[in-house]
Amino acid sequence: MTTYEYSIEYPEGESQEMDSPLRIDQLVDLNGRALALPLPSPRIIAYRVVKIRHLEERGLHRVLHYVELVPARELASYCR
């Protein structure tokens, strides 16, 4: 039996477990939850998934999602 674990790896070196996987270029909030588009305002803290790494061990499949901070000027293009 294989167990799947998902985590988000922040640029500051911290990590947090998640319930489900993300996609490359997906925008997420501070807690790793996907943001719904269009965004209500560019004044939010958002991260973009830039890399996904799969680690397999006996009975464990870990998926690491690496993110980068998205600047406010870029977030403006995702707003209404």
- The residue ranges of every structural domain in the chain are 3-78
Question: pLDDT value at position 21?
Answer: 94
Burial (CB count <10 Å: 0-12, 13-18, 19+), residue 41: exposed
The amino acid at residue 48 is: R
C-alpha closest to that of 49 among 23, 76, 75: 23
| Mean pLDDT of each 10-residue bin along the chain, 80 residues long | 94 93 95 91 93 95 97 90
Longest pairwise C-alpha distance within the chain: 47
- The SS3 assignment for 39 reads strand
- The sign one gets for the Cα dihedral 19, 21, 26, 32 is positive
Question: pLDDT value at position 80?
Answer: 78
26 token code pair: 């997906």
Query: How far apart are the C-alpha atoms of 19 and 7, rounded to whole Å?
Result: 8
